[in-house]
Each structure stands twice: as C-alpha cells, then as structure tokens.
Structure 1
Amino acid sequence: MNAAPHILIVDDHAEIRDLLGRFLRQHGFRATCVPDGQAMRDSLTSAQVDLLVLDVMLPGESGLDLCRDVRRHSTTPIIMLTAMGEETDRIVGLEVGADDYVPKPFNARELLARIRAVLRRTVMPADAPGPRSSTLSFAGWRLDLVRRDLLSPDGVAVDLTSGEYDLLLAFAENPQTVLSRERLLELSHNKVFTAYDRSIDVQVSRLRRKLEDETHADPLIKTVRGIGYLLTVPVTRP
C-alpha cells in the first residue's frame, strides 16, 4: 500500500501551522509543520516531501527566496500562501517556480482542493494506461508523458514545475494551433487564474525560456498578439 502524501507546511504563525496540520491529517495526509527556512531545509533533507505549502511572509528568508532555492535542486510541487490582493507576490512566485498560490485569509477546504489538484497533476502511476504512456516529440524535444520529463535535443533533462508541464502538454497536444488564454487555462486544468491575469503570461514566458533553442531562429512558442499563443512546430507520437 502506498504511503499517504507527505505535505510540508512552512508558516511562522503557530495557529495556522497547527490548524493546517490537523486538517490535513484528518483528510488522510501526513503533515509536517515548521516555522522557517532552516527548519524547512532540515525537513526536506530528512524525509521525502510530496508537496510544500510555503508562506511568502516569513522571518529571515522570505518564502519567495526559499521557493527559488528549492527550485535549484528539486521539482517538488510548491503552493505559495500570499497576502490577499498581492498580485506582485503571485507573479514573482510563479517566476521563481511555484505551482499554485492561495491568498490569505484562506479556506482550509480550498487549500485542500488545491493540494489534491496539484498532486493529481504531478503524481502519475508508472503503469498508467492509454496515450499518457507514450512520448511526444517536437523539434528534437521529447516529452515523456509517464515520467512527466522533458528532454532537450541534446538529451539533457529540463526541470519543469507541474504548471509548466501541464502548459507544455496543452501546447504539444494542440500543435500549430493558436490557443487563447482561456483555452490554455482550460487545457492545463488551471482554474487558479482568470484569462486576464498576467500569471498565465508569466508561465508561458518561463516555459519559453526553457525551450530556447539556438537551432531555431523563431521561438517554439509564438505570441499571437491580441489572441494567445501557439506551438509553431509539428508534434509526433513515436
């Protein structure tokens, strides 16, 4: 039997930590609660963590700095807790590698739903049936739909957050087709943002930078002004 997913909560407010820890355990998760970045690093070193809930406002190192640090060596999913209405924090959080965000004050059930959604996108059984057991190829790149891995034309693995993977999959399954922001949100199962939220543009920009290829004069993901984006090359399924 597989162990319950392990959630690491990083928040300097003891009441929030205790509330979330109890709530997640009541719903079948393992939960570890810590107050700061050093305790977070100790937990990540000592145990397997399946998802990180990370507050932006922390003493010492901020949640954004810690998110950036985690992303240097790990693709563990990260959900940021941000102050209500702080769009800048949301955008910067996505730029440094967060997969999702929840504004404070938040409803514990909403956070639970976000955690489950991110885990569904990032945890794929190795024996999953159907087309997800194959590989999509485009311009020398290979996207493994089982391992959720991206390999460059040189065979180098490229780290993708769960949000970036879902976005790339949406493009790869609809190549050479202009996709509006609304359609990208729908295809990537991302209900967090509205079509007019700059966050979707940030995700596309991050993904495009990871797909930069000197052998192509034009970017693989092209902006169609006023409409959306498209993957400019054909995709095959070997």
Structure 2
Amino acid sequence: MKHILIIDLHAQADELFHQLTAQGYYVHKVNNAFDALVKMETLTLEAILLDFAVPKMDSFWLLVARQTSTPVIVIADVNNELERINALELGADDYLSHPINVRELQLRLNVLKRRSQGSVSDDMRQHVSFDDANYTVNLIDKSLVLTQTEYRLFKYLFEHQGEVVTKAELQQRVLHKKLGRFDRNLDMHISNTRRKLAKGNLPRDLINTVRGQGYSFSF
C-alpha cells in the first residue's frame, strides 16, 4: 500500500484525500507539526503534501527536522512565485497550487521517485568494488566471496544495472555456451549467489528475476 501524508487544514484537502484514496493510496491527514512528525517516524511514506499556511506549522522546522528522504510537495492556494522559491529553498522537492489535478500529482510523484532511486543507486555504486583475483565483491562494509562463475555472473549483471539481461545472453557471455531448452545450470548459479547474499546479510533481490525474460541487477 502506498502511504501519503497530507498536512493541511483546507477543505480542498478533503477532496484530495478522497481522490487519492480512489486511486489506491492510503492517505493520512494531519493539521499540525507534531502529528506529522509522528506519522513520518512510524510510516513508510510515498510522499508528503504540505500546506505552508497551516498555523504554527513553521514548515521550515518540519523540513529540517524530518528524518526521512520522502519527497515533500508544497501545496498552496495560489501559484505565488515568491512562495514557490521559498519552499524550494527550504528543502521542498516540488510545488503545486490548488486546484490539484490528481493525474499531474501522480506524474510528479513518479518523477520524484525515479530521481530518488537514481540517486540511491549512484551512491551505492560508489561503495561497490570487485576483487577479480579472489572472486570477492565488496559492498560497503561487507565482503561476498563467490565461485568464479558466480562472481562473473554478479559482475556482468552489475555492469548492466537497470537492464534486463536475458538468460541466453548470460549463458553465452558468462558461461560461454548456448542456452539449452532444459538447461538449469544458470538458474543454479543465480540461486547459489542469492543464498550467499542472504547469508552475508545482504539483500537477495540485488539480483531480480524478470519473469519470462531473464535477470536484472538493482539496488
């Protein structure tokens, strides 16, 4: 379930609440900074929709104090250029004015999500290194020792991060033979690699199965 937090007092917020709920979001509506911070601490949020006009809100302090990377979109009654600049300077990720078009809001949320995922991925890439001599992958503060084949599979998928690599391509490029109709050798190596990831307290889903197509590497 995608959770969205609305921090607002206006009647328009009730309409937005119902529209987002109809789109499958689980919407939480609060009208003060304290309740907002509680929600932010206890929920995994897709986004925070924030009205700068909420009394005693001190939105600046909310934006500074939040301990989350959740995108914050400021909602205003009018499209005020100075307020929009102020909101972005204080740390907001985007700005919208009433009336809110839910479709536009969803598109903006998708853009913010892709941007966030790309940022996380780039940061993680900087903390991954490969030891070709010992078939070892170093991920931040952990080392993953693999067999030669597992290591080459992992490295190939990592180098093609974000792409779907077919089984046939992996079989040809890494195992250096054509993929047979009943060949499960590749699946076995992927399964063993995932098991070693889990044993090393690393996420198994670094290597994802794309049903009917192949595998992809993603943080």
- TM-score by structure 2 length? 0.50
- TM-score by structure 1 length? 0.46
Larger of the two Rg values belongs to structure: 2
Structure with greater helix share of residues: 2
